[in-house]
Amino acid sequence: MNTAKESQNMEKQLADLLMAISWDDLSRTYFGKSSSWLYHKMGRRDGNGKSTSFTAEEIEELKGALLDLSNRIRRAAESI
């Protein structure tokens, strides 16, 4: 079953961060997958042009990854 968040285009939701985050590092560190896998999921098209989307579990994993990354950034900023 699709959630309201899942039905939206994740790329649009994360537009403010697209150039600020190393998506390669994020996809490998938190998902164990390539950056192309993540880009395909965000763009809602797989490598063959077929429709794809995040599962509910992947959405929660992405949310957790972004929260973890934000906490790491905050700790680094506070240590300056």
pLDDT confidence bin for 4, thresholds 50/70/90: low
Which pLDDT tens digit goes with each residue over 51-77? 888 899 999 999 999 999 999 999 999
Mean pLDDT, the chain, whole residue set: 84
- How many Å apart are CA 28 and CA 32, to the nearest integer? 4
* pLDDT at position 8 over 80: no
Please answer whether residues 10 and 54 qualify as being in contact, where contact means their C-beta atoms are separated by less than 8 angstroms.
Answer: yes
Is 10's pLDDT higher than 80?
Answer: no
- In the structure, what pLDDT confidence band is assigned to residue 17 with cuts at 50, 70 and 90? confident
Pairwise CA distance, residues 70 & 76, whole Å? 10
**DSSP classification of residue 45:** B
Helix (H, G, I), strand (E, B) or coil at 32: coil
Euclidean distance between the first and final Cα of the chain, in Å?
Answer: 45
